[in-house]
Amino acid sequence: MVYSRTAHTLISRLTFRGRRVALSHGLHAARVRRVASIRPGPLLICNVEPTPQTVMHIVSIGFRAKTGRTIAVALTRGDSAPAYLGRWNVSLCDPLLPATAQPHHEVMELPWIEAQSAVRPIEARIENVAISALSALLSELDSKGCSVTSIGVVGSPDRNLERIGNPHIRAHAAEGILFRRVLEVAATTHKLRWRGFPDKDFEKLAVSELGRTPQQIKLALATMGHSAGAPWRVDERAAATAAWLTLPPV
């Protein structure tokens, strides 16, 4: 097991089951060991063991952005559907700056124009956390023979926040957009191809773009969930779908 420490980042609760993940094109299967849930701490744990081959496995990471955190799922190419590699629950807050958990709540009593200016330093701190978190994921996967080429991010879509009159509702809406956007900024910083997806009607979009029936997608995601183990809820499935949508074709 490899541990990589990253500044200002808490990554925890990664669970694998002892199964082999089949890879396409005759590549060796990535061996996966059973790992207990990890208590929150500044650790990134990825236990996809390196294969003896020099060919890198092409990987996409899907993120389901939430306020203050994100769920990440990594997939690689498989035979009939992508193969599951790993899952992470990543904090996007700086533990040294509690305001990064709900930054717009800190300034919601200010007029909107002033609030945008006042919150910017906190948003910049969150961007740095996201960049560091993605850097850790990329380094860990690279050390296991996995080349991340694309990122998919599911989260709140852009909207005109100025038109929301209730400051509390506006703060929640602004944070939903913010924590999606910082992951896109992180992908851009690392020069990765990325795509953002609105959380509304995301399943319909997946059916349209993947060219599969809802039942086929559901079955493929269930197979991934069987490899991942619990929890494999709607957010984990959304992250996996985002990775699937952005995974380069064979």
CATH code: domain of residue 22: 3.30.420.10
Distance CA 43, CA 14 (A): 10
Tell me the per-residue pLDDT of 26-40, one tens digit each, with 9 for 90 and over. 222 332 222 222 223
The answer to whether 108 and 74 have CB atoms below 8 angstroms apart is no
Tell me the per-residue pLDDT of 141-164, one tens digit each, with 9 for 90 and over. 999 999 999 999 999 999 999 999
Q: Which domain holds residue 211?
A: 3-246
Categorize the per-residue pLDDT at 174 as very low, low, confident or very high, splitting at 50, 70 and 90.
Answer: very high
207: Cβ contacts below 8 Å, ≥ 6 apart: 213, 214, 217
> What's the number of CA atoms in the CB half-sphere (13 Å) around residue 80?
8
Number of domains in the chain: 1
- Checking if the pLDDT of 72 tops 90, the result is yes
Tell me the per-residue pLDDT of 178-190, one tens digit each, with 9 for 90 and over. 999 999 999 999 9
Percent of the chain at pLDDT exceeding 70 = 78
- Checking if the pLDDT of 49 tops 80, the result is no
- DSSP for 45-113 reads E--BPPPSSSSPEEEEEEEEEETTEEEEEEEE--SSSPEEEEEEEEE-S-TT-GGGSSHHHHTTTS-HH
Angle formed by the axes of helices 214-228 and 202-210, nearest 10°: 100
pLDDT, average across residues 239-248: 97
Please give the residue that has the higher pLDDT: either 6 or 98. Answer: 98
Which residues partner with 90 through β-bridges?
11, 70
- Checking if the pLDDT of 5 tops 80, the result is no
